[in-house]
């Protein structure tokens, strides 16, 4: 991997995607591991043959894409299913995200990794870690409104993610998204200038 890479993470409902898009507007490149995962599990996706071989044809929908409802059901009933799925997806996601970061010609890359803390190795591949943060109550209300889930369902998702404290512990920069967009614009603009400067310093040091 070459260039300057900023790992961007945050819990569900924190507003990672919004922040990532604001960095793109500033001129950063975006490599989103969620997007890569969806591409790998779409109809004809590179991961689907192995997923079907591992979990059976019932895990794919009529078009041949991953049936996420069926997969979620399987994960809840079989504690090993999540680990087996991740063992298929994570090496492919890492390979593709590394390649896209290396190929970028932008001044720096935002590498959006929702489970950056949990995955461990991603933090070693980033020059900086930026964490999008907001109170848990805000996360819950946003996800309930956006996904139509109950509070208990959202709390169950939060339970399997890293805690707010764990994310903040690895952050070089924290982006507060508790108050919405108004405060995000100046913060992202400020960090954009910082990352441009750091990227330039790294490029000079590597010459």
Annotated binding site for ATP: 13-18
Do strands 29-32 and 109-112 pair parallel, antiparallel, or not at all (unpaired)?
parallel
Do strands 173-176 and 109-112 pair parallel, antiparallel, or not at all (unpaired)?
unpaired
Helix axes 33-40, 81-103, angle to 10 degrees: 120
The annotation places the binding site at 13-18
């Amino acid at each position: 991997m070459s260039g300057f890479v900023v790992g961007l993470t945050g819990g569900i409902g924190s507003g990672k995607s919004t922040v990532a898009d604001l960095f793109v507007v500033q001129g950063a490149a975006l490599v989103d591991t969620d997007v890569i995962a969806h591409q790998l599990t779409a109809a004809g996706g590179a991961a689907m043959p192995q997923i079907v071989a591992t979990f059976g044809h019932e895990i794919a929908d009529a078009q041949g894409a991953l049936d996420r409802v069926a997969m979620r059901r399987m994960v809840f009933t079989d504690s090993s299913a999540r680990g087996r799925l991740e063992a298929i997806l994570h090496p492919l996601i890492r390979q593709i995200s590394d390649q896209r970061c290396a190929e970028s010609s932008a001044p720096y890359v935002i590498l959006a990794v929702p489970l950056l803390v949990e995955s461990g190795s991603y933090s070693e591949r980033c020059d900086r870690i930026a964490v999008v943060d907001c109170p848990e109550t805000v996360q819950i209300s946003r996800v309930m409104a956006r996904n139509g889930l109950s509070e208990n369902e959202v709390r169950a998702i939060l339970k399997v993610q890293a805690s707010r404290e764990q994310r903040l512990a690895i952050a070089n920069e924290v982006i507060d998204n508790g108050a919405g967009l108004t405060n995000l614009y100046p913060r992202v603009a400020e960090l954009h200038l910082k990352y441009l400067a750091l990227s330039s310093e790294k490029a000079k040091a590597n010459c």
